[in-house]
Amino acid sequence: MSKSNETHASLIQVSYCLFAEHGIAKTTYTMIAKEVGIAKPSIYYYFDSKDALIVGVFDELCKGIEFAAFFDLEQFTEDNFVESLIAIGAKMIDEQDKDPYFTRVLQEYMLLATRNQDFSKRLLALQRDYLSGFEALLEKASTLGLLRNKDNLTAKAHMLALILDNIGHFMMFDEQIDYKQIWIEAVYSLFTRDE
């Protein structure tokens, strides 16, 4: 990796952490430069403005978090459907547990998105990707005859998406809740199972 790429990556990485710790608006070039170990004006060689840096961090944040990165429709079969769904949710909860910065920074961008079309378009696309992903998943489950009830698949799919999403929000400042159990209950509530 060239020196240029190294510094670029370091700028993104450091900014990401500082955005989580102090918020985007209160993170300054002075703080970033100090942490990266370069002079403040050097940042302008990589990003024309603070806004450009904010976009750069967002680009990085969005990498590899689309629905398909976690859910592979093919892997779900009649025999493993419920278990797979629960396992993936548990995995996502673990990852958020390990990187508490992620949710915070994402929240920062969600708020930015309420005032900025570019961000709102991209976040909306991401959200829609998850909603339609869960819809496809439940359709497959329905075809396999695994659902307790086949009505309103769309609303049910959205419900799952909402729960998984909000677990992240809650985790930001309440560690005492059994999030995996909530996810299990949500999944069980839709699927038939021995009781």
Partner DNA sequence: GTCTATATGGGGATAGAC
Partner DNA sequence: GTCTATCCCCATATAGAC
Chain contacts with its own copies (rule: CB under 8 A): 21-23, 25-26, 104, 107-108, 110-115, 120, 123-124, 127-128, 131, 149, 152, 154-156, 158-159, 162-163, 165-167, 169-170, 172-174, 177-178, 181-182, 184-186, 189-190, 195
- Residues 175 to 194: which contact DNA by CB under 7 A? none
Please select the residue that binds DNA; options are 13, 23, 35, 40, rule is CB under 7 A: 40
The residue from 29, 101, 102, 188 that contacts DNA (CB under 7 A) is: 29
Identify any residues that bridge with 147 across adjacent strands, giving them in sequence order.
Answer: 191
Q: How far is CA 186 from CA 51, 86, 164, 189, in A?
A: 39, 9, 10, 5
Our finding on whether 34 is near DNA (CB under 7 A) is no
C-alpha dist (Å) from residue 110 to 18, 48, 56, 104, 151:
17, 23, 15, 10, 32
| Closest by CA position to 111, among listed 19, 12, 15 | 19
Distance CA 86, CA 91 (A): 9
Q: Looking at 31-39, 122-130, 162-170, 173-181, which segment touches DNA (CB under 7 A)?
A: 31-39
User: Which residue matches tokens 């396999």?
Assistant: 144
Q: Which does 107 bind (CB under 5 to 8 A by kind): DNA, its own copies, none?
A: its own copies
The residue (of 7 and 187) whose beta carbon lies closer to its own copies is 187
39 or 69: whose CB is closer to DNA?
39
Choose among 195, 178, 179, 188: nearest CA to 156: 188
